[in-house]
Structure 1
């Protein structure tokens, strides 16, 4: 029996799947941050923990794995690979490769060997591959270097909206009571003073409150989410134009918790509008499986064979996030 291992190392979690040649999941592992740019020691430890958990569950060792494919957030430039290659080599897999997490999300979301992917989870990133195999990445580095959004930014935007409504710079918003209740404060002044005095930062979970408020037609929350959609749309347009895909038929895969688990159409509508302006034959697809599935498929294909039907079909059904 042949076994394949795929890893998705993101900014908030690392997930590992091991599957056999029939597509049966033999082992699973999960841990925390897998992005070395967030913290090298944490990422190294979490990737190892996730991998070893999956191996132990499957009753396998590294030499039993036909191929291991690592899709890692932060694998953006050669300087990153200089750091990541020795880190991953220490795991002991005789046959493995590393790629950016954008590529495993793209592979998980489309049956075509090319397309565009927009990631909006803890952070944001966008990339694409055209039919000729040319790759282009737009963003994924920081607000300073042109990005906007992802949970790390949106939770701050939600917090700022409450402060700005309180001091008169923004209209009243339902976010005020939602944020106060979530953080356990009786007033905005109490929250303001406590955060200022203790140099606190808003927790990532406040991002969810934007959708809660938007569902109740809160214009402030809707405007923040609209900006996220517009910015992702601009990134998609940049990738499409750079790769010359305006007249192609392809999929734009939306990945990351902010765009895949959110309710309503507060972000996606603006992405669709932007994409249609430059590539009217493109299709928008919301990723319905964990990106780690794409890593497993790429692990199989890296051995030089076409992806077997049983592996594709079985893992295509893995859409329940509680499985990990």
Structure 2
């Protein structure tokens, strides 16, 4: 029996899983932040702990792992890989590789080797790979580098919309009451001065109030519409640059804004733009933990063909219980 290790190292948690060649999960380990951009030593420790626990549960040693695939947040540029390659090499797996976590998210969300993924969690990102194996990332580096939204960015949009409505630069909005209740302020004026006087950061969880009031609030719907359009634009850019306009593939939707919020206010705008770029594209919410994508890539890098029963067993073991969009 051959065994494979898949690791999903994100900003909030690191999940490592060991699968046999049939797709059965025989060991898993969980730890903290695996993003080296948050802290190199923190990421090193988290990845080590998660991997050690997964191997322990599986009753295996490193030499028994045919291939280990690490999907890591922040693995975007050569500057990142210069930090990550020695870190992962220290783990001494005979065969291993590192990819960005967007790559494993895509692979977990489709049963094809080609496709496109858009991520909208704390930030946004887009990645695609065509049928020739050519790949491209679009975004992932924040507002200053062309991105819009994600949880952090949407929270800023909520906050500034409330301020603008208070000042009279925008129409009154239900976001005002929702934000005041969420943050515990009696008035926008008190909130305004408290944030300025104490240099407070706008909390990311404010993005949630968009979905709370969107059904009855134009300002909230407008922000969510722009989020959908921006994600669609990024996906269309990848589709065109990779010459996928005539192909049939999945667009995988990843991240809490796309999988936990009310999809009526975001996904149709993604779909409208993407379908114009490639009519053969099908939208799918992520159905398995991204770590499943790391396992699938590990199998493929080891030269194994992934059969349908493997997908089914991985889905049983690593399902996030999301449905087709």
Please indicate the TM-score interval, normalised by the length of the shorter structure: over 0.9
Q: Does 1:80 align with 2:57?
A: no
Query: Cα 1:179–1:55, aligned 2, differ >3 Å: closer, same or farther?
Result: farther
**Aligned mates of 1:180, 1:50 — CA distance in 2:** 39
- Residue 256 of structure 2 corresponds to 257
Using the TM superposition, give the Cα deviation of residue 244 of structure 1 relative to its aligned residue in structure 2, in angstroms. 0.9
Q: Does 1:67 align with 2:88?
A: no
Using the TM superposition, give the Cα deviation of residue 186 of structure 1 relative to its aligned residue in structure 2, in angstroms. 2.2
**Aligned mates of 1:63, 1:183 — CA distance in 2:** 52
Q: Does 1:282 align with 2:281?
A: yes
Q: Does 1:159 align with 2:153?
A: no
Q: Does 1:304 align with 2:303?
A: yes
Aligned residues: 321
Bigger drift between 170-179 and 132-141 goes to 170-179
Task: Confirm or deny: 8 A CA contact 2:287 2:321 kept in the other structure.
Answer: no
Bigger drift between 38-47 and 121-130 goes to 38-47
TM-score (norm 1): 0.92
Task: Confirm or deny: 8 A CA contact 1:210 1:221 kept in the other structure.
Answer: yes
TM-score (norm 2): 0.92
SS at match of 1:233: helix
**Aligned mates of 2:200, 2:55 — CA distance in 1:** 39
SS at match of 1:265: helix
Q: How does 1:145-294 map to 2 (within 5 A)?
A: 145-214=145-214, 216-294=215-293
Bigger drift between 298-307 and 29-38 goes to 29-38
**Aligned mates of 2:91, 2:224 — CA distance in 1:** 40
Task: Confirm or deny: 8 A CA contact 2:13 2:31 kept in the other structure.
Answer: yes
Q: How does 1:115-134 map to 2 (within 5 A)?
A: 115-134=115-134
- Residue 44 of structure 1 corresponds to 44
**Aligned mates of 2:301, 2:53 — CA distance in 1:** 23
- Residue 137 of structure 2 corresponds to 137
Q: Give the gaps of 5 or more residues in structure 1.
A: none
Using the TM superposition, give the Cα deviation of residue 259 of structure 1 relative to its aligned residue in structure 2, in angstroms. 0.9
CA RMSD, Structure 1 to Structure 2 (Å): 1.9
**Aligned mates of 2:235, 2:209 — CA distance in 1:** 26
SS at match of 2:7: strand
**Aligned mates of 1:32, 1:168 — CA distance in 2:** 44
SS at match of 1:118: strand
**Aligned mates of 2:172, 2:45 — CA distance in 1:** 44
Using the TM superposition, give the Cα deviation of residue 308 of structure 1 relative to its aligned residue in structure 2, in angstroms. 4.3
**Aligned mates of 1:213, 1:31 — CA distance in 2:** 35
**Aligned mates of 1:43, 1:261 — CA distance in 2:** 27
Using the TM superposition, give the Cα deviation of residue 321 of structure 1 relative to its aligned residue in structure 2, in angstroms. 6.6
Query: Cα 1:93–1:11, aligned 2, differ >3 Å: closer, same or farther?
Result: same
Bigger drift between 166-175 and 261-270 goes to 166-175
SS at match of 2:216: coil
Bigger drift between 270-279 and 48-57 goes to 48-57
Using the TM superposition, give the Cα deviation of residue 31 of structure 1 relative to its aligned residue in structure 2, in angstroms. 3.0
Post-superposition Cα deviations, 1:84-111, rounded to whole Å, max 9, x if no partner, equal 1011112232221101112111111111
Task: Confirm or deny: 8 A CA contact 1:11 1:122 kept in the other structure.
Answer: no
SS at match of 1:320: coil
